[in-house]
């Protein structure tokens, strides 16, 4: 299993607006394409104004296929500008669970 860990640094003061947009419009579209949402988080201590979401994929090919389908969706294309204006930086990492992790197969 591969885990994509996406971290967005938001403009200060925009975390709640971002979360409301995702909850009201974005997450349903994402889940319909990306599938297995492991978790969706925001920071309260440490680096502030960060959003972290983690998605699980059976393979990197599956990830690529699912993300391409999401990007092609007209609803997603209409939604993206709403959150992009709140985001300063974006990072995506791919990780695998250690054999002893609760998430290991």
pLDDT at 105 over 80: no
In the chain, the number of structural domains is 1
**105, part of any domain:** no
pLDDT-derived band at 103 (thresholds 50, 70, 90) equals confident
pLDDT tens digits for 45-86? 999 999 999 999 999 999 999 999 999 999 999 999 999 999
**74, part of any domain:** yes
**Angular region, 49: left φ>0, alpha ψ -120 to 50, beta rest:** left
Output the pTM of the full model: 0.91
**104, part of any domain:** no
pLDDT tens digits for 6-44? 999 999 999 999 999 999 999 999 999 998 999 999 999
């Amino acid at each position: 299993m591969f885990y994509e860990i996406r971290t967005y640094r938001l403009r200060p003061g925009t975390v709640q607006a971002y979360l409301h947009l995702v909850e009201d419009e974005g997450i349903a579209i994402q889940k319909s394409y990306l599938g297995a949402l492991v978790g969706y988080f925001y920071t309260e201590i440490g680096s502030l104004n960060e959003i972290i979401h983690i998605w699980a994929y059976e393979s990197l090919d599956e990830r690529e296929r699912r993300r391409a389908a999401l990007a092609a969706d007209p609803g997603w294309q209409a939604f993206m500008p709403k959150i992009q204006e709140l985001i300063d930086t974006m990072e995506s990492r791919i990780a695998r669970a250690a054999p002893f992790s609760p998430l290991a197969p």
